[in-house]
């Protein structure tokens, strides 16, 4: 039976997207999304907590994210979890991110097209 690695998030951008290029020229864009959870505590008082997710988009989706997203925008992001491993000060460290396969802007600015949506097949990041 095949596995499933799928993440769906609705949240607000915590920073403006940053675009970079791999040594082979592939474009990717990174940004963070804050997702706030709300619930009632055992005594009935409202509580909330915010989780932050690092997002990475590749290719044409990276271009769209760079051109249309900015800090504070409400977005839907779908993708898969990916964990990078690296060495720092002799210790192995792990960094988990979402590799986006689609993005949809959920809030509207008056000057924008109300049907702005991006859904593209995901590009695999280069192993450079």
Domain span at residue 68 reads 7-119
Say if CB 84 and CB 97 are below 8 A apart.
Answer: yes
For the chain, the domain total comes to 1
- Euclidean distance between CA atoms 104 and 76, whole angstroms: 5
pLDDT in tens, 77-94: 999 999 999 999 999 999
Say if CB 14 and CB 69 are below 8 A apart.
Answer: no
* pTM as predicted: 0.78
Q: List, for the chain, all residue ranges whose pLDDT scores fall below the cut of 50.
A: 114, 120, 126-128
Residue 110 belongs to domain with CATH number: 2.40.50.140
Helix and strand tally (H, E) in the chain?
Answer: 1, 7
On whether residue 125 sits in a domain, the answer given is no
């Amino acid at each position: 039976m095949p596995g499933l690695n799928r993440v769906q998030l609705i949240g607000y951008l915590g920073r403006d997207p940053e675009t970079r290029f791999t040594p082979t020229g592939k474009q990717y864009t990174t940004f963070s999304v804050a997702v706030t959870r709300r619930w009632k505590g055992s005594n009935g008082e409202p509580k909330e907590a915010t989780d932050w997710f690092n997002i990475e988009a590749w290719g044409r989706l990276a271009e769209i994210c760079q051109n249309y997203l900015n800090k504070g925008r409400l977005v839907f992001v779908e993708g898969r979890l990916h964990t990078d491993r690296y060495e720092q000060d002799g210790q192995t460290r792990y960094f988990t991110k979402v590799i986006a396969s689609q993005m949809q802007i959920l809030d509207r600015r008056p000057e924008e097209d109300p049907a702005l949506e991006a859904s593209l097949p995901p590009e695999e990041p280069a192993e450079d």
